[in-house]
Structure 1
Amino acid sequence: MQKKLNIPWAVVVSALFVFIFTNLFSFFIFEHIPHINDEVGYLFQAKIFKTGQLYASSPCAKDFFNFTHIINNGKWYSQYTPGYPFLLLLGLVIQAPWLINPLLAAFSIILFYFLGKEIYDSQVGLLAAIFGSISIWFLLMSSTMMSHISCMFFISLFLLFLFRSFKKPSIINGLLAGLGLGMAFLIRPYSALLISVPFLLFYA
């Protein structure tokens, strides 16, 4: 019989707090627009994806359109890997790309709980969720269009199902762990590599 998914009310409240706070911060402080070069590059590539293309053609007088982290050599596209721009594309579909990070942040709080519970116990999971929800860095980055939060979400997904597979090997646990690590590589490859190397060395 399949176990019922029980999420403590404190974890749910923490996740809701993160979602609401980061949306308000994104609106009142960041005005739902990118503010640094990296964010511009991610959103630019997402808008290209929305047209059904991998890149756009460079505009006339292309030298006037050069921008940090954006390739402009006849083809016009972001230098970054496509994982996070693809997630922003999902936000563009509903005309709310700023919503992606707050959503992933809220679900990350739930992942923190289950990851802490999987490795230690439910009390550790609860503390992980609560402390995560009041982390200044976590709340700030979740309010931006930077890629850190999405990478953290998928790395947490990878770790959760990796540790579950140690206790109970199954195809679904392996697939979800692989999905998490694969998406993390598509978002921030160096971060994903550093996380995965210790496990690769240990089990090699």
Structure 2
Amino acid sequence: MPPLADHLVILDRDGVINKDSDDYIKSLDEFEPYPQAIDAISRLCQASWTVAVATNQSGIARGYYDEATLGIMHEHLKALIADTGGRLAHIAYCPHGPDDGCDCRKPLPGMLKQIQHALQLESLEGSWMVGDSLRDLQAGEAVGCHLALVRTGKGKRTLAKHPELASPEGQTRIFDDLGGFADWLVDAR
């Protein structure tokens, strides 16, 4: 039986799950997950949430690494999460550059629709999109997700550029990190 959309959390990767770099994460050696993020994903899973990832990976189009290297990083991530009792239901990634004209690169919602299809959901209304950039939130908003911004990665910079995100009447919830979001979401249920 497919998961329910209101029990789905979609995460950006770089800056939310692992340390980000303006020079791109090009190898397993450079892939450094935040320990609290791994635990947070597992806590969400153990509380009956389905967790998926949607990540722009333009480093592939730029020739910094290939899809096989990305696959190694993602297999490592899945193993770390499995070791703590969690599971990623799906990882969608966009290998295109910003000028490639694809429909998957955030802020477009193509990867989120890939997740919807892979998980056999009628819609993504009521699910959560958690990111550290405005484009993550825009992709989630386009498909009816609840929105959460974390201050890790580019999150603080995003808040400085878009202070309206933190306004009380805004629709975006702000958290220090993925662990804070997971604690809040699990307690809110």
Q: For the superposition of Structure 1 and Structure 2, which TM-score range results when normalised by the shorter chain?
A: under 0.3
Higher helix share: 1
TM-score (norm 2): 0.28
| Higher strand proportion | 2
State which structure, 1 or 2, has the greater radius of gyration over its C-alpha atoms: 1
TM-score if structure 1 supplies the norm length? 0.27
Q: Which has the higher contact order (CA 8 A, sep 6+)?
A: 2
